[in-house]
């Protein structure tokens, strides 16, 4: 009798254990690790510059820009990132090109295809390149003309934000020393007309309003002939 009771108890315990195994809720699988997003440092800025068609307007290595578009080699990276973001959002606009379209329109159409990380990679690569040697004006500028331009740049308060010779700007301001003359003219005229007013451009309006066409051309002549250290 005792043996039968012990046998029954052992059977009951085994059956209970088996039932617990079959009715226990399944263990949820561990959540998959989130996919790592592309880091700007891991992206190839040079390759992106080509595949995103930046080269079409700004030229090979950001050094042979067409028309009145800027050369971007050795420009400040944070400034370039801010401008790409503003053009993409529509915050930065420009005056019309020869066909009557805003000069920034082509870039705006491309920017929605470029991610934040890709913009950063492109900007960092461009900033790492040597600056462009300035193109000699035709006809060449006289020393007197350059001196007058430098005086106008200083008197106009330009160096307050862009630094001496346009080479040491405040944060999020562009390096303007050595920029293309036609690009400088276009931007100063856009700012004076209150067309371009994104980012730090707004602070330039009161200075640009004081300049006539001759004054803008004088400053553009001077800045376009400044040779940055390491220029090629």
The answer on 192 and 148 residing in a single domain is yes
161 located within any domain? yes
Q: Among 19-28, 34-43, 81-90, 105-114, name the one with the lowest average pLDDT.
A: 19-28
- Note whether 156 and 215 are same-domain residues: yes
- The total domain count for the chain is 2
> Is 230 domain-assigned?
no
Q: 215: domain CATH number? A: 1.10.760.10
Query: Looking at the structure, do residues 117 and 157 belong to the same domain, yes or no?
Result: no
Note whether residue 25 is domain-resident.
no
Decide which of 98, 128, 158 is a domain's last residue: 128
Note the pLDDT tens digit of each residue in 3-48.
343 443 343 333 343 433 434 444 444 444 434 456 767 899 999 9
User: Tell me: the pLDDT tens digits for 129-150?
Assistant: 999 999 999 999 999 999 999 9
Three state DSSP letters for the chain: CHHHHHHHHHHHHHHHHHHHHHHCCCCCCCCCCCCCCCCHHHCCHHHHHHHCCCHHHHCHHHCCCCCCCCCCCCCCHHHHHHHHHHHHHCCCCCCECCCCCECCHHHHHHHCCCCHHHHHHHHHHHHHCCCCCCCCCCCCCCHHHHHHHHHHHHHCCCHHHHCHHHCCCCCCCCCCCCCCHHHHHHHHHHHHCCCCCCHHHHHHHHHHCCCCHHHHHHHHHHHHCCCCCCCC
53 and 102 share one domain: yes
Assigned domain for 2 exists: no
Q: Is residue 160 part of a domain?
A: yes
pTM metric for this prediction = 0.82
In a domain, residue 17? The reply is no
List the domain range (segments joined by +) for residue 116.
41-128
């Amino acid at each position: 009798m005792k043996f039968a009771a012990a046998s029954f108890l052992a059977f009951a315990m085994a059956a209970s254990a088996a039932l617990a195994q079959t009715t226990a809720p399944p263990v949820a699988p561990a959540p998959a690790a989130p996919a790592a997003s592309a880091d700007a440092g891991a992206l190839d800025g040079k390759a992106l510059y080509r595949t995103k068609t930046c080269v079409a307007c700004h030229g090979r290595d950001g050094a042979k820009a067409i028309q009145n578009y800027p050369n971007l080699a050795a420009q400040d990276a944070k400034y370039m990132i801010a401008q790409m973001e503003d053009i993409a959002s529509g915050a930065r606009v420009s005056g019309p090109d020869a066909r009557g379209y805003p000069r920034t329109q082509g870039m705006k159409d491309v920017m929605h295809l470029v991610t934040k990380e890709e913009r950063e990679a492109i900007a960092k690569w461009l900033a790492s390149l040597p600056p462009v040697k300035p193109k000699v004006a035709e006809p060449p500028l006289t020393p007197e003309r350059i001196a007058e331009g430098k005086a106008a740049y200083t008197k106009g308060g330009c160096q307050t934000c862009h630094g001496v010779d346009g080479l040491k700007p405040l944060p999020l301001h562009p390096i303007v020393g050595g920029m293309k003359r036609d690009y400088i003219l276009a931007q100063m005229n856009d700012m004076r007309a209150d067309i371009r007013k994104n980012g730090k451009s707004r602070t330039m309006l009161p200075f640009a309003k004081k300049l006539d066409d001759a004054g803008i051309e004088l400053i553009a002549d001077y800045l376009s002939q400044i040779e940055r250290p390491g220029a090629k």
